[in-house]
Structure 1
Amino acid sequence: MNLLFKPAKALGVSLLLASAFITQPVLANGPIGEHVNHLQANLKSYAEEVEWMVGKVDTMVSDYDTKGAKAVKTDDLIEYWESVKFHSAIETNFVPVYASIWQGIYGVKMAIENKQPAAEVRKQQQAMNNALWQGLGAVKLAAKFQQQGLLANVTTTATKEMTQSATIDEIKHRLDRVVAKFAERLNDEATEIVHDTYLHLFEGVEGTLIAQDANLVEVLEKDFNVTLPLAISSNKSVDEVRNVISDMQTKLDRAKTLIEKAEKTRKDVF
């Protein structure tokens, strides 16, 4: 029975991933490298980056276990992840797994910062590792589809059709839709809107925002990839999800102010 079940399960996962890849939009905003349009040629380096990431986090957790929280710098976890090309490869091909990786990273980060037992930190580390390897598998499958011409090229520059300040307004509007879908108990649709909004809107303004307030960008990334998806998947009350989104929208108001200031500066220069 198991011999029949495992291939069937694998096939089901493959078909799910395939549908996600084939229907992907062609635009990815933010600092996305051209390598995402040449996945097959970069698979070896992606695998090496996953190994490197797993090793770096393991070293950190081991140091925490033997030397305590003061011996580690948890912000390095974010820097590790954002420094690898694989970050963009999974982000542009299968955002749900991308969000799971973020959740795993923050699981380790928060467990250390809250001085949880090493066993609990290891549990979070394993969840992160599982998401990383799942992500690598997804990228390998995407590479096959890309070679078969089933994936459109990813545009690696932001859209010019909407100003960045207007993009913030659209993000807030879409977050309102998330509340509506969640209230209708359409959790999958709500989560899809979150992922799509992050990838195709927030990423487009991220570069400008980082120059203005890097901490704000990091907090919003966590909200999009960890806090809000977890609130939805944990079946929180509508009010609780609305509160998460209200908090995000307050941060987005701050982001809009910074972006408008940057836009005005550019106009003054030219």
Structure 2
Amino acid sequence: MENPAIDPIRIYGPLITRALRNWGKHTLILALDTSVLFEKFCLIRVAVLFRGRAGPLVSRVIEPSSAQVSTAHLLSVLARVKGLLDFLRIREVRVLADRGFCDTDLMAWLRFCDWHYRIRIKSNLILASPDGHRLCKVGEVKLDPREVRCFHNVTLTGQHFGPVHVALGRPSDGPEQWQVVSDEPTSINTFDEYGERFQIEEGFLDDKSGLFGLEDSKLRDALCLERLTLVLAIATLLLVSVVGWNYARHH
């Protein structure tokens, strides 16, 4: 793990591109998320969602100066992802992310890549019409249980980023509402599309305290931890590939 000659990107890149080489024109669903390690490090990951599993595509471990991971760190990881997908000529991509990634700079970058996205947004964001007329804050929209409301061709924040599409939903009698922004017109199906994101959280659980026991590691160096996540990523890729091959064989 301390060997500087072990470069996770150079090792894992050829493996994951080989696994995805026959993806074809199907939409590739990606989840972007982070996980805290030992209350000191942050694991940034973009994973491919496939048959209920989250296969790591690009992972990076950093030691951030604050609790918030900067957009620059996120974009550096996404740039690696774009390089891999451009090499594979995979054009149809949809990125899913939680409200911690509700950032117009990130959305602008995804738009530049011509990638689609479904991102959960915060209640204090301002919705406005394309001409700049303020409509409301997201949290000001009060829904009845099981009600869904969609806003199409609106802008976000005081910067009027857009046009985007927003879906708001209240799934039960509880107070929590679901709020998702999309680059494509929204509907009740938007929540199902966003809900696929939770697969990456299951993947983090497998890494940290479930299948692999990453939290039992005594490593406390970002580069060493990144090499360890390389080992876990290869193991996950192998397991997902075997399951996928067996599924295809019997169907």
Shorter-chain TM-score above 0.5 = no
- Point out the structure with the larger helix share: 1
- Point out the structure with the larger strand share: 2
Q: TM-score, normalised by structure 1?
A: 0.23
